[in-house]
Structure 1
Amino acid sequence: MAILPIVKYPDKRLKTKSQKVWEFDENLHALLDDMYETMIATNGIGLAAIQVAKPICALIITLPREDGEQYEEDRLEIINPTLINATGASLYQEGCLSVPGFYEEIERFAEVSVAYQNRFGEEKVLKADGLLAIAIQHEMDHLNGVLFVDKLPLLRRKKFEKELKRIQKEQKSSQTN
């Protein structure tokens, strides 16, 4: 297994619409395993394949348990997801491995049902609420080329862009010193 580089905003690849997975083979399994290692190494709870420069409809999620730890047996691998039901509304302060250091409150559905395939191509349905529902929606957005910052109201989006420019400027000046 390997830790993969994460594509960072404003890289245009993050706007790519991911393609359906047709081959459920050892290459897909290796990618899913590498994605898991990458997500854990970067303290994430979810990761879409596009975030590691693979434009396919695959994502992983591993929520921490009450002890704050993430366990591999809790890993969800969701391939070719389709939202089949969504109800309610929930506000949650989201962050993203592709937009490090920036967090904003985003409104999402409170409960979702998703049809998907597992790593072997078997069809499944998952009903989720709470943080799991939020994470699924966040990662599914990535598969459609949508970032959580795209959902911000105009004024908050401008604040984000300004903050991002400041951070990038600081990073450049620290690299030249």
Structure 2
Amino acid sequence: MPTTRRSSGGGRPSASKQSTLSFNHRVTKSVPKSIKNLTSAPAKSPLATHVILAEPDIKDEADVHVEKVRVEEPEQVEPEREKTEAELRADKITDRQISQYWRNIESERRTKRLHQEDLNLAEKVLRYWDVSSQYGPCVGMSRLKRWQRADKLGLNPPVEVLAVLMREEDKGRRGTSTAYMDNILNSTAVGAD
């Protein structure tokens, strides 16, 4: 059966006439003056003044020498921030206290941990910190920020973990700032396209 189409009534008068929408008119939405000023003024970028490239106006290809002039900024020295009370306590933690902390954790277990023979003490402590769910999620933030968040929330995170984090940062070891679980979740599968 063919579809039927309604007509607008061709010659029949309608009881109410709806006005037609027109999209050809000007937008009358009010715009704040600050935005109007931004669009009318030419954009000035502070980055444009950092590097200036100067090329001499020579047309002969044999004599073309392009000079690159770099305007050097004075090096900005980062002011050393003051250490928090927790960081000062972590500085006083010795290696012996960290190993004692780990022995206490291990003594709570019934069996020996598997597949951790090749890890050093710092990595064992940090991986245990990663899976300690009482301090909040470990994925998506650095270990240090997680420790600081747990401290601010009053969850009493172990100061030994902060000591290990600070020592690993001082040694410049890569990969200790993010959780091991985060590395696993962010890795790509072998052979995946």
> TM-score normalised by the shorter chain: which range applies?
under 0.3
- Choose 1 or 2 for highest CA Rg: 2
TM-score with structure 2 setting the length: 0.23
Higher RCO (C-alpha under 8 Å, 6+ residues apart)? 1
